[in-house]
């Protein structure tokens, strides 16, 4: 039995998924949150609740408590909570801790709502796969639309119905399901042909993920697909991907019949670029249909948005500009790791807590390693070296929880230098040459460089793609994509004062109020977490200097 009389309870939220993570609250305050991959150094590492996982002791160390101090643990599993690997009774330290279990999309939704600061809002979750119909509570089952009866049970091999889209009404700390779309994930080849083939398009998220896997070889390469799309033409009809019947999606198998090989990029370069562009357009048009459905529930003019599809920054801009919500909050940790935050807040509310409507303005939930902060003299030296073309690795404070480097685990460069993009892609990070880079820009100058339209002129979590103003593109070529767009992070002093000051100094020297900002990692590896990892990676790649807290370290020896 959970003791609901604890005024500032310690609550541990667990994202039990392929992108595993944990979040620790004390009362309403996030003490820390970390993805398992940052600690295991294995990209997309799972968190398995039934056995020891590294994020537990990382968070306990950050908080200065023992596992016995935790008042409740909340599990948000992607697969059945009854599965042996989700059994917390088997965990050596958490087996006696009171616990709750929540569905996958609910975890996404609660995380976005709790971080938004909104008292009331619509909440939308869109991803590739959530909980099974059989694992949903009755209220969520009753909100499901258009699901065939045979897909509701757990016994049909390969086609269990799972969450794809969920709409909630959020108010006073409670979520009420409004509408849910589920689909049967078909893992079998309908033609009985076992040559390589794409996964079935059972939802928009799966559609995008499946094409990414076809082109690049892994379902987690959706970000690459978004970057490749502007190089192609959207000449594959939308009907090749999906159609509507009674205003609900059905998905075509035409591409699965047509593409029967596992030849990856850069093979079929022209076709794959066109396929990427066509898939991006099909996603955006599908999302537009969902926004129309969402607005039929006239609950609130504010929107919270999460789920893996919410990391598609190009589609996010369409949402912000065309869906006409008064305010849109997109959760920075929109992918599965973010359900750990939602799980923790669910536990806090179950123990009698109340959300006070405070918006989260940063994503730095990792622990501080005590390396200090650079002096004014060091920042001046860093800005000078950036102006001279050096590449600078940047390590400050606690790490970012989501996938974007927002100024604590970054690699920085001069956006005026076109050669910076090629150097960073091919030499430093080992990425494909078509992949773009994003800037971090002083918020008060952002509208003079980027076209935000008439909407809110900020993007604190690097989740919007907007045009670079035409007259500015030649000044910042390394952060301007082939279609003239960029994905800026707008920065205010109160969000990250040290990086803000560096931008000020760089602007004074160059008349450009931004820097190229990319994550401190190489392709296929997680972002660095510790000072030692930062030092080792900086020395092993073509990086000139590392700013490690208060230290400026030369990493190259000629």
Of all residues in the chain, the percent with pLDDT exceeding 70 is 94
Q: What does the alpha-carbon distance between residue 79 and residue 358 come to, in Å, rounded to a whole number?
A: 32
Question: Would you state the pLDDT for residue 156?
Answer: 42
CB atoms under 10 Å from CB of 42, counted, come to: 12
Model confidence over 481-529: pLDDT tens digits?
A: 999 999 999 999 999 999 999 999 999 999 999 999 999 999 999 999 9
Question: Would you state the pLDDT for residue 550?
Answer: 94
**With 80 as the cut, is the pLDDT of residue 141 above it?**
yes
Question: Would you state the pLDDT for residue 3?
Answer: 53
Contact 346, 110 (CB under 8 A): yes
Contact 323, 291 (CB under 8 A): yes
**With 60 as the cut, is the pLDDT of residue 224 above it?**
yes
Round the average pLDDT of the chain to a whole number and report it. 93
**Structure tokens of 501?**
């000051």
CB environment 380-397: b (16+ within 10 A), e (fewer) = bbbbebbbeebbbbbbbb
**With 60 as the cut, is the pLDDT of residue 149 above it?**
no
**Structure tokens of 554?**
């030369």
Residue whose C-alpha is closest to residue 527's, from 39, 168, 144? 39
**With 70 as the cut, is the pLDDT of residue 188 above it?**
no
Question: Would you state the pLDDT for residue 195?
Answer: 55
Contact 115, 360 (CB under 8 A): yes
Q: What is the pTM of this model?
A: 0.95
CB atoms under 10 Å from CB of 455, counted, come to: 16
**With 90 as the cut, is the pLDDT of residue 557 above it?**
no
Question: Would you state the pLDDT for residue 509?
Answer: 98
Contact 33, 111 (CB under 8 A): no
Spacing of C-alpha 71 from chain mean position: 28
Spacing of C-alpha 388 from chain mean position: 33
Question: Would you state the pLDDT for residue 118?
Answer: 97
Residue whose C-alpha is closest to residue 460's, from 306, 332, 301, 304? 332
349 bridge partner residues: none
Q: Within a 13 Å sphere around the CA of 287, how many CA atoms are in the beta-carbon half?
A: 28
Residue whose C-alpha is closest to residue 53's, from 98, 20, 97, 24? 20
Question: Where does the pLDDT of residue 15 fall: very low under 50, low under 70, confident under 90, or very high at 90 and above?
Answer: very high
304 bridge partner residues: 123, 329
Residue whose C-alpha is closest to residue 18's, from 283, 280, 308, 236? 308
Q: Within a 13 Å sphere around the CA of 398, how many CA atoms are in the beta-carbon half?
A: 18
**With 90 as the cut, is the pLDDT of residue 6 above it?**
no
The dihedral sign for the CA sequence 364, 366, 367, 372: negative
């Amino acid at each position: 039995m959970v003791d609901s009389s604890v005024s500032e309870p310690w609550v541990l939220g667990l994202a039990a998924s392929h992108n595993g993570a944990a979040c620790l609250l004390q009362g309403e305050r996030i003490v820390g949150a970390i993805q398992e991959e940052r600690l295991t150094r294995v990209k997309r590492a799972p968190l398995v609740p039934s056995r020891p996982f590294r994020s537990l002791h990382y968070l306990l160390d950050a908080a200065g408590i023992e596992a016995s101090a935790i008042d409740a643990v909340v599990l948000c599993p992607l697969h059945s909570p009854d599965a042996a690997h989700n059994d917390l009774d088997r965990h050596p330290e958490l087996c006696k801790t009171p616990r709750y279990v929540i569905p996958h999309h609910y975890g996404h939704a609660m995380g976005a709502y709790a971080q938004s600061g909104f008292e009331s809002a619509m909440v939308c979750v869109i991803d590739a796969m959530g909980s099974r119909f059989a694992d949903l509570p009755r209220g969520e089952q009753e909100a499901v639309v258009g699901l065939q009866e045979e897909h509701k049970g757990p016994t049909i091999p390969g086609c269990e119905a799972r969450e794809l889209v969920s709409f909630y009404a959020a108010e006073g700390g409670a979520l009420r399901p409004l509408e849910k779309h589920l689909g049967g994930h078909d893992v079998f080849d309908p033609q009985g042909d076992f040559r390589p083939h794409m996964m079935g398009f059972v939802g928009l998220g799966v559609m995008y993920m499946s094409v990414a896997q076809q082109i690049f070889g892994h379902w987690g390469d959706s970000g690459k697909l978004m970057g490749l799309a502007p190089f192609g033409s959207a000449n594959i009809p939308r009907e090749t991907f999906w159609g509507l019947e009674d205003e609900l999606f059905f998905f075509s198998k035409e591409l699965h019949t047509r593409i029967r090989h596992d030849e990856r990029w850069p093979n079929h370069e022209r076709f794959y670029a066109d396929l990427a562009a066509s898939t991006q357009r099909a996603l955006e048009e599908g999302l537009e249909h969902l926004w129309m459905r969402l607005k039929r529930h006239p609950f609130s003019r504010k929107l919270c948005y999460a789920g893996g599809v919410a990391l598609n920054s190009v589609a996010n801009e369409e949402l912000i500009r065309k869906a006409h919500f008064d305010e849109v909050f997109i959760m920075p940790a929109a992918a599965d790791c973010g359900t750990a935050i939602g799980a923790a807040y669910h536990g806090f509310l179950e123990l009698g807590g109340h959300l006070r409507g405070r918006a989260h303005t940063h994503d730095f939930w990792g622990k501080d390693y005590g390396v200090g902060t650079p002096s004014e003299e060091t920042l001046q030296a860093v800005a000078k070296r950036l102006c001279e073309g050096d590449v600078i690795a940047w390590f400050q404070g606690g790490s970012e929880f989501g996938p974007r480097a927002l100024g604590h685990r970054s690699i920085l460069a001069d956006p005026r230098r076109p050669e910076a993009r090629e150097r960073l892609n091919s030499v430093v990070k080992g990425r494909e040459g078509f992949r773009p880079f994003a800037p971090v820009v002083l918020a008060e100058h952002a509208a003079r460089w980027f076209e935000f339209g008439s909407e809110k002129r900020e993007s604190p979590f690097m989740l919007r793609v907007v045009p670079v103003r035409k007259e500015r593109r030649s000044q910042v070529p390394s952060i301007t994509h082939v279609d003239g767009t960029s994905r800026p992070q707008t920065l205010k002093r109160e969000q990250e004062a040290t990086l803000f000051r560096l931008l000020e100094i760089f602007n004074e020297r160059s008349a450009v109020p931004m820097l190229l900002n990319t994550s401190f990692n190489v392709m296929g590896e997680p972002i660095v977490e510790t000072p030692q990892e930062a030092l080792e990676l900086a020395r092993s790649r073509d990086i000139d200097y590392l700013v490690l807290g208060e230290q400026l370290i030369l990493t190259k020896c000629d």
